[in-house]
A and B are shown apart, each in its own frame.
Chain A
Amino acid sequence: MKAQRPLTEEEKRMQALQNSSGCDRNGPPPPAPERAHAPASPLSATSLEHIAALVPQYLDSCRTRLDQATEASDRGDLTTVRHHAHALRGSGGAFGFDAISEIAARLEDAALAENLRRVATEIAALQRLLEDIRP
């Protein structure tokens, strides 16, 4: 029988993480799950209605956040700009607004590079985009 090599600290950590999960475990094959299926469409009409109802509220929160990023940019606080850009980038994906995420990612990069001109350009691009999708 082949001797097993001891696990590295990293391997032990990842194994502990996997063992602690409800989804990912090593070990003997588990019993088959009771049900496993993909919804016919990513979202049903009912849940789409729910999401649609949240969109105006979400867009308002984007405008508020962008205003805060603009104020931070005006006072040269690019760390705060980056924080707001990062949050916009992530939340855009949750609601399927990939364009918000893309411009927010560019804004985040510009703030990280401390490029004030690019920061202003991307803030303006986000403002235009949010105006365009105003209901």
Chain B
Amino acid sequence: MNELLAKDLRDVVETVWTATLGFEMLDPLGSMAPPPEATWCGCIQIGGAWNGLVKVSISEALARRAAATMFDSPAESLSDADVTDALGEITNMTGGSVKALLPGPSQLSLPSVITGVDFSVISPGGTLIREVAFQTSGSQIRVQVVEGRRLSAWDGIRQSLSAKPGPR
């Protein structure tokens, strides 16, 4: 089985957040708007037999709580770098699990962490194939898997030709 089912992605998220981080049970959510607060988004790419991106979006409050749990320190004592590190690790674990459930062999990229208010992370040509959302103590966790399109040699040539100015 090399297909990532919604149940698989829910299991991955629950394993990372409850079994590994020790958070209480997560309540699944349907699609709904994220809370109007600063968002922290961890992204990691999978490249190889399957190509795409895994994104983990959480609120700043939850990112700080996760970091506090991970480093066993009070949330207020943690720097932004600590929170970035924690979300990078959570993204790495989530991406690693997703990679293992998709066709291989593939490699994981380094995780990236983006923070801000009302921003977008767009994968050109990518297709959102799975999305799950959970709520824990009033904060949301949203995980998305975007399948990328691998460019063939012909796609590259076509793009190169279309980028050149035509005859007048």
Interface residues of A (CB under 8 A from B): 14, 16-18, 20-26, 30-39, 41-44, 46-47, 50-51, 54, 58, 61, 86-87, 89-96, 98, 101-102, 105, 108-109, 112
Contact = CB atoms under 8 A, between A and B. Distances in A.
Interface residues of chain B: helix, strand, loop or mixed (majority)? mixed
24 contacts: A20-B34, A22-B41, A23-B41, A23-B43, A24-B122, A24-B144, A30-B118, A33-B114, A33-B115, A37-B84, A38-B88, A39-B110, A42-B111, A43-B85, A46-B85, A47-B70, A47-B89, A50-B70, A90-B11, A90-B98, A93-B95, A94-B94, A94-B97, A105-B104
Nearest to B2: A105
Contacts, number: 151
A23 B96 CA distance: 20
Contact of A90 (B15, B88, B140): B15
A30 to B, nearest CB: 5
Task: Choose among B20, B80, B82 the residue with the greatest number of A CB atoms under 10 Å from its CB.
Answer: B20
Given A47-B89, A101-B100, A34 B39 contact: no
Contact of A17 (B41, B96, B131): B131
Contacts of B15: 90-91, 94
A18 to B, nearest CB: 6
Contact of A94 (B16, B85, B140): B16
Interface residues of B, number: 58
Given A23-B55, A90-B11, A47 B85 contact: yes
Contact of B100 (A26, A35, A89): A89
Given A21-B34, A35-B115, A94 B1 contact: no
B128 interface: yes
A45 B26 CA distance: 29
Given A42-B88, A93-B100, A24 B120 contact: yes
Interface string B107-148: 000111111111111110001100100000000101010100
A17 B11 CA distance: 20
Nearest to B110: A38
A23 B11 contact: no
A33 B116 contact: yes
